[in-house]
Every structure is written in structure tokens, then in C-alpha cells.
Structure 1
């Protein structure tokens, strides 16, 4: 009956810790949404879309920088995917921006148009 005991022959490895990509992505989007509500009071309404896109690109750059510093392959790939998806969302939103809105973002608000 000793040959029926397979625990000595094939050892199972412990499963790798689960990467929390969806939760992290949802958290990043919630932080961007809260920052958008804060930016809404600072910039004019026409300059809100360029400010959001700039914020998305900045968060994507920070996420990619974190991925470059990370040594684990699984978390590194997940971070690069998060950075890529944030960049993609920023590019899609930047299509909706008119050039006049970008000019309003960089001009001083107290100057007449």
C-alpha cells in the first residue's frame, strides 16, 4: 500500500501570491476622480479636460517608474499594464480636447481673451 501514497513523489508548490491589479487600477481611478474634483475649483471649466489628461499621464509615468524599480516579475508586468492602460485612457480623452482648451490651460486666468 505504500505505492498509493503520492505525497512523497509529487510535491505541490505553494501558489504565488495573487496580484491585485483590478483593485489597484480601481484605486488609481478613484484617486484621479477625487483629484479631478479638487482641480475643478482651481482651473476654469474649459481647461478641466486638459488638466485631467495631464494628471492621467503623470500617474501613468509614476506607475511606470514604480514598475522599473520593482524586482518581482509578476508585479512589474502588472504595473506596466496599469501604466499602459492609464496612458491609453489619457490618449482617448485627449482626442476630445480642442486646441483652444489647451491654450486656456497655460494662459493666466485674469488676462482678457
Structure 2
């Protein structure tokens, strides 16, 4: 009976998962949050959201570059998934950026608004 077969669900002692995708994603997001808190003191409040989005895109690109260097298919897929999720988070956060924030970033500081 196929319903009672629980072998794919229950792991035995020799089948530990060596790929730590969830822990790695949590670590990358924790580093991104710490970097965003560090950016808060360096960047004006209006430029904080674009800086965080740029940081997420850069970390996602770095993760994708590391995935290209990885030789095993299972780990390569995990790294690409992490890069895609970081990019997705960056895209979602970029929706929150108002166009005025971007104009203030690139406007000359000596000119009145």
C-alpha cells in the first residue's frame, strides 16, 4: 500500500541533510539586517530604502556568482535559490521606494528643490 509507505518522509540515521539552506538564508538575511542598521547612520533617511535594496541585489548577485563556482548540482541549486530569494526580496522592497526619494538621491545638493 503506497499510502502507508513512510520511507520518503521519515529520515533514518544515515540520511541527514548536509545542505543547510534554511540556516544559510537566515544567516544571510541577518547579515543584511546588520548591514542595513549600519547604513542607517551613514545614509540619510530618504536614501535608506534604495541603499538596502542595492545591498540585497549585491548580495544576491554575489550568491549567484558563488553558485556558478559550485560543482555539485544539489548545492548549486540551493545557492541559486538563495540568490533568487534575495533578489525577490529586493524587488519587493523596491516597490516601497517613492520616486521622490530617487530624485533626491541624484539631485545636486547645492540647488534648491
Q: Give unmatched runs, 5+ long, in structure 1.
A: 1-13
Within 5 Å, which residues of 2 pair with 1:18-97? 18-97=18-97
CA gap 1:63/1:20 in 2 versus in 1, 3 angstroms: same
Q: Deviations over 1:76-108 (max 9, x none)?
A: 000000000001000000011011112233446
TM-score by length of 1: 0.80
Task: Give the count of matched residue pairs.
Answer: 100
TM-score by length of 2: 0.80
For 2:9, the equivalent position in structure 1 comes to none
CA gap 1:47/1:73 in 2 versus in 1, 3 angstroms: same
Q: Give unmatched runs, 5+ long, in structure 2.
A: 1-13
Q: Secondary structure at the match of 1:41?
A: helix
Q: 4+ residue runs of structure 1 moved beyond 4 angstroms?
A: 107-112
**Counterpart contact for 1:67–1:76, Cα < 8 Å:** yes
Q: Secondary structure at the match of 2:49?
A: helix
Separation in 2, partners of 1:40, 1:72 = 38
Pick the structure with greater CA Rg.
1
For 2:99, the equivalent position in structure 1 comes to 99
